[in-house]
Copies of this chain bind each other. A is one copy, B any other.
């Protein structure tokens, strides 16, 4: 199939597919005589794999590493896939805690503010940010 057919089938743009190709994630098995990309069912599967990785939070670089394992399973150990996954879990945990800290700070900021049409002269949000503790 041609690029826009694949694009439609997996729900992303042809531009993005070409971008993935440039990033080394997905190359169509061949080109036709007009130099148009020709994709196979295997390419569809690979594209879906990429999108599943994205869903799970993997970067394109990590996805690339996972693809290398997928495409050459007998040359790779389970340990590799597990390590990539563990590292990602750790990274996301850290992001979550950072966001939770911000959330706590923000909720503290917000809860004492009257939020009314009054002048912000005594606004607790502003004065807290100013460092009046």
Contact = CB atoms under 8 A, between A and B. Distances in A.
Interface of A: 45, 48-49, 52-53, 55-57, 66, 69-70, 73-83, 85-86, 88-89, 92-93, 95-96, 99-100, 102-103, 105-107, 109-110, 113-121, 123, 125-126, 128-131
> Nearest 3 A-B pairs (CB), nearest first?
A57-B102, A82-B115, A81-B125
B77 A126 contact: no
Given A69-B123, A120-B73, A88 B106 contact: yes
A53 B74 CA distance: 51
Given A57-B99, A92-B102, A99-B92, A77 B118 contact: yes
The A interface, classified by DSSP as helix, strand, loop or mixed, is helix
| Copies of the chain in the assembly | 2
A52 to B, nearest CB: 5
B120 A69 contact: yes
Contact of A89 (B86, B103, B121): B103
